[in-house]
Structure 1
């Protein structure tokens, strides 16, 4: 499999995961929203393709939202979660992508130092994403009648653990698969070489 074929496969998996989880197709049976992890992991796995892939994933996320909201006979811009603040998702998800991309630039293989960098990059990226996404919604959506700094901070603290926990679960799965691929690929190459 060539590098481009491999990246296209990974992009397809990430896009399908986001579509399946963000759309809530199966209502209570759908998996938790993987969007945040998709952008972080995408930044790691697809670094170098960002100029094309990041806008594509953003368009997919927004397209999914439009389809889901429209399917409930609602006007997209009248939905509770959609306002001028909705555009804050672009820089928020961009921060996740940048966190994954930073991690990839400093990645030399699976080891303890890489695990530490993963944890640091993940925590910073998710916290920054939440600051932007939740902050723009709190201050600019018009949903909060009387916004205050204390109210914003409490809202930030209330929502951060859930988003971080969900993204951490998906990211941990991706990390395990990355390590497995690194360990298995050399064994497969050695086995093929032994057959020839």
Structure 2
């Protein structure tokens, strides 16, 4: 049996047609929230970390990951053009560390995809891997920024960690929140696909 033709469930990979919609929705959410001019107006946190996790979870094609990396880089470059010096601090020799962080989230999504659990256990599994991916991404992005950005001079790693650790909770909260929204939307889509197209009329006995 060809798994590409089966109706998607929360535990499975979307069908080929659905994957394009998933990719468009993920990319659109990142485009809408990554550049602060849009996210500030919408009062939304950046979805990028959740996007890379969910893409790893749902999208098998290997080209999706570099495509999303290219989108993130393109948005950042546009922000530099628009905001100039205000955003130049983001583009340092440490910038590849951010790409490594996205890779950690992508791999966490791939790992979560392999789980065969169902129901609540599956949701907890997804959230657990999302948390692991977020912790790894936070460590990679901040460690490389401290080591290679050139902004911190003689500031020691422990002192730098004391400065950035208060932000960890916010990253976990926003990433898991968006992941939960994505899982809920996927579940609702599954229920819609499972509903009969022409339900039988109600007959009173």
TM bin, normalised by shorter chain, reads 0.7 to 0.9
C-alpha deviation, 1:159, in angstroms = 2.0
Note if 1:68 corresponds to 2:76: no
After superposition, residues 26-105 of structure 1 pair within 5 angstroms as 26=38, 28-30=40-42, 31-46=44-59, 48-49=60-61, 51-74=62-85, 79-105=88-114
- Is the contact made by 1:139 and 1:147 (CA closer than 8 Å) also made in structure 2? no
| Corresponding position of 2:130 | 122
1:152 to 160, 181, 188: 160
In structure 1, the residue corresponding to 2:63 is in which secondary structure? helix
TM-score by length of 1: 0.87
Structure 1 stretches of at least 4 aligned residues deviating more than 6 Å after TM superposition: none
Between the aligned partners of 1:101 and 1:193, the Cα distance in structure 2 is 37
Between the aligned partners of 1:149 and 1:108, the Cα distance in structure 2 is 39
- Is the contact made by 1:131 and 1:156 (CA closer than 8 Å) also made in structure 2? no
Structure 1: gaps (5+ residues): none
| Corresponding position of 1:191 | 197
Higher helix share: 1
State the number of aligned residues.
188
Change (3 A) 1:194 1:98: farther
Q: Select the structure of larger CA radius of gyration.
A: 2
- Is the contact made by 1:135 and 1:152 (CA closer than 8 Å) also made in structure 2? no
Task: Supply the RMSD in Å over aligned alpha carbons.
Answer: 2.2
